[in-house]
Amino acid sequence: MLREISIARKADGPYERRWYEDERLDLFVWFDPGGDIARFQLTYDKPTGGKAIDWKRGRGSTHMLVDDGANRGMHPGTPLLSMGGKFAKDRVIEYFREHAANIDAGVSTFVLQTLREFRQDSASGRKREIVILGALVCGLLIAWRLLR
């Protein structure tokens, strides 16, 4: 069952952050000063190479892969998120629904609704747009250097 990690509450700028976890999920939720959810990250498949749904008000949802930052023979690094992967939507929704009974009902309802509305194609389209934009910027930088 998900449980709140109460010592993790802290302000990120004007936002309050709450953290819920169990053996397979981590849920971080940021609340604006009015108490509304401004962002959440739900990481799943935690012990064996995690994935994450990152939702932000005004931007929507993105599916991410979690690089745990582990380097062989070195100290653990900082986990990093990168775009990609396929969202195991039905499995994650079912697991979250079954294990979120002990957390704030408003949070669990909001997260479940957002997960149900997630569209894989919108995330891959956003990734494609970022790649195209990156290629254009690189092309402009090369042209600028050549013309200098």
Number of neighbours of residue 30 by Cβ within 10 angstroms: 20
What pLDDT score was predicted for residue 125?
52
Q: What are 5's two structure tokens?
A: 């990690």
What pLDDT score was predicted for residue 44?
96
What pLDDT score was predicted for residue 111?
98
> Model's pTM, two decimal places?
0.74
Where b means 16+ CB within 10 Å and e means fewer, 32-68 reads eeeeebbbbbbbbbbeeebbbbbbeeeeebbbbebee
Q: What are 22's two structure tokens?
A: 């169990």
Q: What is the dihedral of CA 134, 132, 128, 65, to 10 degrees?
A: -20
- Would you kindly state where each structural domain of the chain is located, as residue ranges? 3-120
What pLDDT score was predicted for residue 9?
63
pLDDT by residue for the chain (148 residues), tens digit each?
Answer: 999 988 756 666 788 999 999 999 999 999 999 999 999 999 999 877 789 999 999 999 999 998 766 665 566 667 778 888 899 999 999 999 999 999 999 999 999 999 999 987 655 555 556 666 676 676 667 776 777 6
- Show the beta-strand stretches assigned E in 32-103: 37-44, 51-56, 60-67, 80-83
Give the Cα separation of 115 and 134 in Å (integer): 28
Q: What are 67's two structure tokens?
A: 């690089």
**Helix or strand (DSSP H, E) at 30:** strand 26-31
Q: What are 105's two structure tokens?
A: 């009902």
Give the Cα separation of 146 and 89 in Å (integer): 47
